[in-house]
Structure 1
Amino acid sequence: MNQRARIAMSDDEVTAFLEAARKLQLATINPDGTPHMVTMFHALDEGQVVFWTYEKSQKARNLARDPRVSCLVETGDEYAELRGVLLYGRAVPVEDRDRVLGVGMMIARRMTPGVPDELLLPYVEKTGRKRLAYVVERTKVVSWDHRRLT
């Protein structure tokens, strides 16, 4: 078995890793072809990465033109501790407004663990009026867990 195969995570490990992370690096494509990278809070909905953003944001404008994305989640400081998941795919807009708010609630819960829904809902409803939500449809997954090298 080559080293790349040794350090790759299983599908269940990828899901658990993404579930445990609160933030990811989201790359979209600017009009001039350069990458636009930002840190995003996210959630998993039936195993798929979901996020939301203001409809006038650069990333939303980029996604309206070109839905291709890369999403990176990584941890570790020393080489032997490095773990990560890189997703390639398409960000598909969520059309249903109730589902947009549902994505917002999933993310708000992850950002503020322990805060009751009745306190989160007014914020999500207010900010959700100006937001879009997306589901990342994966086309390729690359993962690594360097702890397996020892």
Structure 2
Amino acid sequence: MNQRARIAMSDDDVTAFLEAAHKLQLATINGDGTPHLVTMFYGLSEGRIAFWTYAKSQKARNLARDPRLTCLVETGDAYDELRGVLVYGKAGRLDDRDRVMDVGMMVARRTTPGVPDELLRPYVEKTGLKRVAYVVERTKVVSWDHRRLA
């Protein structure tokens, strides 16, 4: 078995890793072809990465023009601690206000654990007025867990 195969995570490990994390690096493509890279909080919708953003943001403009994106979730400091999941895919935009609010609540719950929905909802409803949401349809997943090298 080669080293790449040794460090790849199983589908269940990828799911658990994505469920445990809260933020990712999101890359979209600017109009001039350069990457636009930002950190985003995210949730999971039926196992798929979901996030929301202001409708006029650079990433939303980029995704309207070209829905391809890359998401990186990683952790670890030392080489033998590195773990990560790289998701290539296409962003499916959600415009339905109820679905946008669902994604907003999903993100808010993950970033503020233990805060009751009745306290989160007013914030989500207010900021959600200017937001759109996306669900990532995966085209390829690459993963690594260097702890398996020991």
Instruction: State the TM-score, normalizing by the size of structure 2.
Output: 0.99
Secondary structure of 2:103 counterpart: helix
Secondary structure of 2:104 counterpart: helix
Match of 1:146 in 2: 146
Q: In structure 2, how many angstroms separate the alpha carbons of the residues matched to 1:81 and 1:112? A: 26
Q: In structure 1, how many angstroms separate the alpha carbons of the residues matched to 2:73 and 2:141? A: 12
Runs of 4+ in 1 over 4 A off after TM superposition: none
Match of 1:106 in 2: 106
Match of 2:83 in 1: 83
Secondary structure of 1:56 counterpart: coil
Cα displacement string for residues 44-79 of structure 1 (whole angstroms, at most 9, x for unaligned residues)? 111000000000000000000000000000000000
Secondary structure of 1:90 counterpart: strand
Q: In structure 1, how many angstroms separate the alpha carbons of the residues matched to 2:120 and 2:76? A: 31
Q: In structure 2, how many angstroms separate the alpha carbons of the residues matched to 1:44 and 1:10? A: 18
Secondary structure of 1:72 counterpart: strand
Mean CA deviation greater in 89-98 or 19-28: 89-98
Secondary structure of 2:9 counterpart: coil
Gaps of 5+ in 2: none
Gaps of 5+ in 1: none
Superposition map of 1:119-130 within 5 A: 119-130=119-130
TM-superposed deviation, 1:95: 2.9
Identity of aligned residues (%): 81
Secondary structure of 1:147 counterpart: helix
Mean CA deviation greater in 26-35 or 88-97: 88-97
TM-superposed deviation, 1:9: 0.3
**Could you tell me which amino acid in structure 1 is paired with residue 87 of structure 2?**
L
Q: In structure 1, how many angstroms separate the alpha carbons of the residues matched to 2:30 and 2:48? A: 24
Secondary structure of 2:31 counterpart: coil
**Could you tell me which amino acid in structure 2 is paired with residue 93 of structure 1?**
R
Q: In structure 2, how many angstroms separate the alpha carbons of the residues matched to 1:50 and 1:138? A: 11
Q: In structure 2, how many angstroms separate the alpha carbons of the residues matched to 1:123 and 1:95? A: 19
Q: In structure 1, how many angstroms separate the alpha carbons of the residues matched to 2:97 and 2:62? A: 21
Residue-pair matches, total:
150
Q: In structure 2, how many angstroms separate the alpha carbons of the residues matched to 1:79 and 1:120? A: 38
Q: In structure 1, how many angstroms separate the alpha carbons of the residues matched to 2:15 and 2:38? A: 21
Secondary structure of 1:24 counterpart: strand
TM-superposed deviation, 1:94: 1.1
**Could you tell me which amino acid in structure 1 is paired with residue 2 of structure 2?**
N
Match of 1:9 in 2: 9
Instruction: State the TM-score, normalizing by the size of structure 1.
Output: 0.99
Match of 1:45 in 2: 45
TM-superposed deviation, 1:112: 0.6
